[in-house]
Amino acid sequence: MQLPVLGEAATADRFLTSLPQACGPTGQVAKLPLPMSMEEAHQRGWDELDVVIVTGDAYIDHPSFAMSILGRVLEAAGFRVGIISQPNWHSCDDWRRFGRPKLFFGISAGNMDSMINHYTANRKVRNDDAYSPGGKIGLRPDRATLSYCQRAREAFKGVPVIAGGVEASLRRLAHYDYWSDKVRKSILFDSKADLVVFGMGENAIVEIAQRLQAGEPVKQLRDMRGVAYALGASETAPDDALVLPSYEEVLADKLQFAEATRIIHQETNPYNARRLIQWHSNQAVVVNPPQFPISEAAMDRIYGLPYTRQAHTSYREPIPSFEMIKDSVTIMRGCFGGCTFCSITAHQGRAIQSRSKASIVGEIESMAQDKKFKGTVSDIGGPTANMYQMKCTRPEVEATCRRQSCVHPKICKLLGVDHQPVIELMRAARQVDGVKKVLVASGIRMDLARQSPEYIRELTQHHVGGHLKVAPEHVDPDVLFKMRKPANDDFEFFADVFKEESQAAGKKQYLIPYFIASHPGSDLDAMINLAVFLKQNGYKPDQVQDFIPAPLDVATCMYYTGLDPFTKKPVFIAKGLRDRKTQRALMQFFKTENYFEVRDALRSAGRTDLIGDGCDCLIPSAPPREAVQRRRQDANARFRGEYVHTIPGTSNSDATSAAAGTGKKRKRQRRSRSSDGYRPGRKGAQ
């Protein structure tokens, strides 16, 4: 089984560069959305489909949504594509909506892992789903990829099932699952998918469709980059693969889990990554090296396809995620930051893949022609807006590099950090007729921004809508090191310059910093230091991010094993619910309902100097009246009626009434329910 060699990287997106030239931003009328029913397919003159894409999200024909991009790319390559959005997974009827697809089912849980979509960091059910009409919950199952793949198998025997998206991508090998608190097998075994496409899938999905159309069986597609597959018990394993600790080993030994994580993340550079294999008993999962980064020309063609930029016409309620991004423009993908708690590098890759300025400005011009457009581009960015067109200046070194981050522990001297391309793009974008404001609302890497005062000035004077969200994440040096985030002085420098430039422009603008509670390495002292920093700088975060261990992340390995996978040194973990709640409370020490938790934490840490009425104190010495009332209400809610022993089959009120009755009545009740209670040694005991 031969893999492409390094020299073939230039033709890695040959399937994408063969697409028609961009037509969306040139002003041509956009086509209909891809069909969601057979009636819509007939409107296009289609009696059958080549590919049916199943997604856990509402279908929005906008290039910020993976299923829309993949569907449009396939359509541009000449394939007939249908979308099944948020199907009823209790039967396979929805999978039969278009009849038997000629080539394959493409399965994705959606833009997010379904478990993160459903549950908070405290494993409580979320109240809404941003990717569903009306924000309704319950329109997709837990572990949606599994259900969707199984229903596809049930609907039409023999049709290849190709899984992809974030959920499948990050679960392609044995992984720790936070919600079940155990190590799970590769998703390939549970889903029974023929292939998992990991990472960005445009190039892979076109190649799969073309090769299946040419008559190749799905097993022959195992030579592709960017795919993982399961070997049958009787199949021969490739002899050139790097062997990971087996599922049984990582299940039994956390040190082996940490070692597997280290190897997986060492093999993410597509220019030198090796094929991986992990045994699960007598079967194995094989993971081929990642796809090569795609070219600027391919990016332009992908984002230049004729998207309607609207939710499908069948929806009657607004979709929150669409309302947020409908006027945004993606300028790049990928991130070389390598933050341990973030899946972007693992999914989109470390190499930055950027669109041309002409393509981006063309899309904005097309938006400005829409009568519904109100003049504000809500965001021009990507995972990190100021990484646009940045890359390694020595490709021959990049081909052998195994660094996990190009900017940590310090910015690599070979990294090109020129901000001029993004500055020129920002200037061109705001000159488009019909555009009043162009905002940069996506992530900004502040250690990079520090390299360009001109960029900070341009950003502050022209591209902030009153508030700018930034993500320093923490202030403790040890925690920041484990996050692979820059030192806090980069944030402080950025905040000072931002304030100066805002004043110079005569604008009142504010930073909204985001911090994470309970990240591996963050102990009580670290959180108290963060609380003190917030107090000294006047920050009062309305929202607190709790660390959620997502599959495959390095920080997730730390959380599960208590070890840094690269050094094998112990890492402090706040695992208990009480510890996590305390860290949240410290970050919002100013809220009266958190008073007692903050006081207990400060006393426990020996920091009673922060309790008092001085200006440097976090909380007053005497609890506020509101805090006392809140504590009393919480206690009443917790214990109201709970002390009453309840007999199975009766309510609390029944039991209370029985207890208050006459002696004769109590005796009658005891006789009538003599077999209901737990009575050891008695016949009929339950």
Q: How far apart are CA 53 and CA 61, in angstroms?
A: 13
For residue 58, the enclosing domain spans 6-229
Residue at 516: amino acid letter = I
Together in a domain, 22 and 132:
yes
Q: Which of 6, 553, 1, 564 is nearest to 277 (CA)?
A: 1
Assign 629 a pLDDT band (cuts: 50, 70, 90).
confident
Together in a domain, 427 and 529:
no
- On the question of pLDDT at 672 being above 50, the answer is no
Together in a domain, 88 and 162:
yes
Each residue's pLDDT tens digit, 398-408? 999 999 999 99
Together in a domain, 430 and 504:
no
Together in a domain, 422 and 488:
no
* Residue that terminates a domain, selected from 460, 482, 514: 460
Q: Is residue 634 part of a domain?
A: no
Per-residue pLDDT, averaged over 148-155, amounts to 98
Instruction: Give the burial class of 637: count Cβ atoms within 10 A of its Cβ; 0-12 exposed, 13-18 middle, 19 or more buried.
Output: exposed
Per-residue pLDDT, averaged over 457-462, amounts to 96
Each residue's pLDDT tens digit, 237-286? 999 999 999 999 999 999 999 999 999 999 999 999 999 999 999 999 99
Q: Where are the beta strands (DSSP E) in 182-312?
A: 182-184, 195-197, 227-231, 242-243, 276-280, 283-287, 310-311
Q: Which two tokens stand for residue 513?
A: 């910093």
Contact 45, 14 (CB under 8 A): no
Q: pLDDT at position 14, please?
A: 66
Q: Which two tokens stand for residue 610?
A: 């922060």
Q: Is residue 22 part of a domain?
A: yes
pTM here is 0.89
Domain containing residue 32: CATH number: 3.40.50.280
Q: Which two tokens stand for residue 306?
A: 């004729």
Contact 529, 515 (CB under 8 A): no
- On the question of pLDDT at 429 being above 80, the answer is yes
Q: How far apart are CA 534 and CA 598, in angstroms?
A: 14
Tell me what percent of the residues of the chain surpass a pLDDT of 90. 82
Q: Is residue 272 part of a domain?
A: no
- On the question of pLDDT at 30 being above 60, the answer is no
Q: Is residue 130 part of a domain?
A: yes
Assign 146 a pLDDT band (cuts: 50, 70, 90).
very high
Q: How far apart are CA 464 and CA 439, in angstroms?
A: 6
Cα Rg, the chain, nearest whole Å = 28
Domain containing residue 352: CATH number: 3.30.750.210
Q: Is residue 471 part of a domain?
A: yes
- On the question of pLDDT at 10 being above 50, the answer is no
Together in a domain, 421 and 540:
no
* Residue that terminates a domain, selected from 210, 229, 248: 229
344: Cβ–Cβ under 8 A, 6 or more apart, which residues?
334, 335, 337, 383
What separation in angstroms does the CA of 662 have from each of 118, 658, 669? 50, 8, 11
Together in a domain, 500 and 356:
no
DSSP, collapsed to helix, strand or coil, labels residue 51 as: strand
- On the question of pLDDT at 416 being above 70, the answer is yes
Which of 116-120, 245-249, 599-603, 626-630 has the least mean pLDDT?
626-630
Instruction: Give the burial class of 647: count Cβ atoms within 10 A of its Cβ; 0-12 exposed, 13-18 middle, 19 or more buried.
Output: middle
- On the question of pLDDT at 441 being above 70, the answer is yes
Together in a domain, 456 and 560:
no
Together in a domain, 360 and 442:
yes
Helix H or strand E segment including 467: strand 467-473
Mean pLDDT of the chain: 90
Q: Which two tokens stand for residue 183?
A: 């190590």
Together in a domain, 13 and 80:
yes
As a three-state string, the secondary structure of 4-21 is CCHHHHHHCCHHHHCCCC
- On the question of pLDDT at 173 being above 70, the answer is yes
* Residue that terminates a domain, selected from 445, 460, 475: 460
Each residue's pLDDT tens digit, 321-357? 999 999 999 999 999 999 999 999 888 999 999 999 9
Together in a domain, 504 and 394:
no
Together in a domain, 455 and 472:
no
Q: Is residue 54 part of a domain?
A: yes
- On the question of pLDDT at 668 being above 60, the answer is no
Q: Is residue 664 part of a domain?
A: yes
Assign 151 a pLDDT band (cuts: 50, 70, 90).
very high
- On the question of pLDDT at 466 being above 50, the answer is yes
- On the question of pLDDT at 52 being above 90, the answer is yes
- On the question of pLDDT at 554 being above 50, the answer is yes
Q: Which two tokens stand for residue 196?
A: 């998992």
Q: pLDDT at position 639, please?
A: 64
Give me the phi and psi of 283, to 5 degrees please. Answer: -115, 165
Each residue's pLDDT tens digit, 532-541? 999 999 999 8
Domain containing residue 497: CATH number: 3.30.750.200
Q: Is residue 287 part of a domain?
A: no
Contact 285, 172 (CB under 8 A): yes
- On the question of pLDDT at 26 being above 50, the answer is no
Contact 118, 137 (CB under 8 A): yes
Q: pLDDT at position 641, please?
A: 54
Q: Which of 319, 288, 274 is nearest to 59 (CA)?
A: 319
Assign 638 a pLDDT band (cuts: 50, 70, 90).
low
Give the position of tokens 């199907």.
87
* Count of domains observed in the chain: 4
Contact 242, 274 (CB under 8 A): yes
Assign 660 a pLDDT band (cuts: 50, 70, 90).
very low
Assign 21 a pLDDT band (cuts: 50, 70, 90).
low
Contact 376, 317 (CB under 8 A): no
DSSP state of 610: G
Which of 292-296, 481-485, 636-640 has the least mean pLDDT?
636-640
